[in-house]
Structure 1
């Protein structure tokens, strides 16, 4: 008689579950990101929002907080809180949007640009090492439909 509880899973082994594999991969990757960003004084979400602000503002028109949250896939309130922290560190400025008085536009400061460039290099180097077991084009092909709209 088998006293093991029935889990109702379709998988014979935990290592066959895509959800568990994604969870484990994400947790390992987050630890790597935390380690490479800590010397720069950034959390991962701070890095993502700072880099996204620069990415969206590269054509000369700085993004507002809602656009930034959309690009990063973050909650508006959390985005606002993280941006306040980046502002207190002197990495960004938040100013009234001339086209919408309710919105604030985000600009990286010269210090923020310098920190972001260093962080981007560190993150891309860490990403290359972390994902080296899989061809980049193959990984992007798998992840793109799962990530949702980015651009």
Structure 2
């Protein structure tokens, strides 16, 4: 029976379907890796990004975090409130922009994220290990997709 509703003969020819499968598998496994830190992946990404941007000596604002992580501003704000309640970040008025708040890690937040980063980097190394020396090319293709999407 011909599958005339599809342009593919087999599902492995569908890039979107493959990406969806890999993404779901990766998300399920990263969730397990982060459980011991009591972090969702969104919380991890925001904490790690605060650390990354702070190391770059940037004044980290909520909008900078939202742009950096590609997490929408409302979700960023909601997750940051949760992280503040947990004592992992502190928010304060921006030095020059009264409408903005700067975000920083607390001592506990820094300790927690440093450990979580090691776990996530080890997990990613293992998960993507089968790509061997193709990892850089794979990353470049992902960046190309992000750049293309950001340009529209």
| TM-score (structure 2 length as normaliser) | 0.90
Q: Which residue of 2 aligns with 1:146?
A: 145
Q: Which residue of 2 aligns with 1:47?
A: 44
Deviation at 1:51, TM superposition (A): 0.5
Mind listing any 5+ residue stretches in structure 2 that lack a counterpart? none
**Secondary structure of 2:119 counterpart:** helix
Give me the whole-angstrom Cα distance separating, in 2, the residues matched to 1:38 and 1:48: 14
Moved more, 53-62 or 125-134: 53-62
1:15-94 aligned at under 5 Å gives the runs 15-94=12-91
Deviation at 1:5, TM superposition (A): 6.8
Q: Which residue of 2 aligns with 1:110?
A: 107
**Secondary structure of 2:71 counterpart:** coil
Aligned length: 146
Deviation at 1:120, TM superposition (A): 0.5
Q: Which residue of 2 aligns with 1:137?
A: 136
Give me the whole-angstrom Cα distance separating, in 2, the residues matched to 1:73 and 1:59: 19
Contact 2:62 2:73 in 1 (8 A): yes
| TM-score (structure 1 length as normaliser) | 0.91
Residue-by-residue CA offset, 1:72-93 (whole Å, 9 max, x unaligned): 0010000000000000111100
**Secondary structure of 1:100 counterpart:** coil
Q: Does 1:100 align with 2:97?
A: yes
Give me the whole-angstrom Cα distance separating, in 2, the residues matched to 1:20 and 1:95: 43
Write out the 4+ residue segments of structure 1 that deviate beyond 6 Å after TM superposition.
none
**Secondary structure of 1:102 counterpart:** coil
**Secondary structure of 1:123 counterpart:** helix
Deviation at 1:15, TM superposition (A): 1.2
